[in-house]
Amino acid sequence: MSKTNVILGIGVLLLVGWMLKGTFFQPGIDDLKGDFKEVTRYRNDNNTGPIQYVFIVTVKDPAAAEMEQYGNFMPHHKGGNTKVYYFLEGKPTPDKAFSGKVNFDPSFNQACIALYEKSAMGNASLVNNPL
């Protein structure tokens, strides 16, 4: 075996190892700041029209929380809508989410600290104190 083949073999092995590391060690929701905990979720049963996702999430430290990045990790379908409502951990939080314009019991509106929404066109926004 020649010296060139050995160097090429080592180079290929290093490249494959680097690609595998990048594949299996991607950052995820658990790596974000804010200590997010999903309380409940809703997904409508309509598979032929717009799919609506609603998530109710608690956050421990909203000042340091990466809420927009958390919202970007949530599932979204082309033509559908994804909403993530954020509440402070330890405060009253809805335990049920549903479809429509009002996605949880309105008695919790004052406790909602932020809303992430990704529209049907893929435009994402984060609004503090939305309700």
Q: What is the pLDDT of residues 83-100, one digit of tens each?
A: 999 999 988 899 899 888
The pair of three-digit structure tokens given for residue 123, joined into one six-digit string: 């435009």
Please tell me the distance from the alpha carbon of residue 74 to that of residue 82, in angstroms, as a whole number.
Answer: 8
Four-CA torsion 99, 104, 106, 111, nearest 10 degrees:
-140
Q: Give the torsion sign (CA, 96, 59, 127, 47).
A: negative
**pLDDT surpassing 80 at residue 129:** yes
Q: What is the pLDDT of residues 58-70, one digit of tens each?
A: 998 877 788 888 8
Q: What is the pLDDT of residues 28-40, one digit of tens each?
A: 777 778 788 999 9
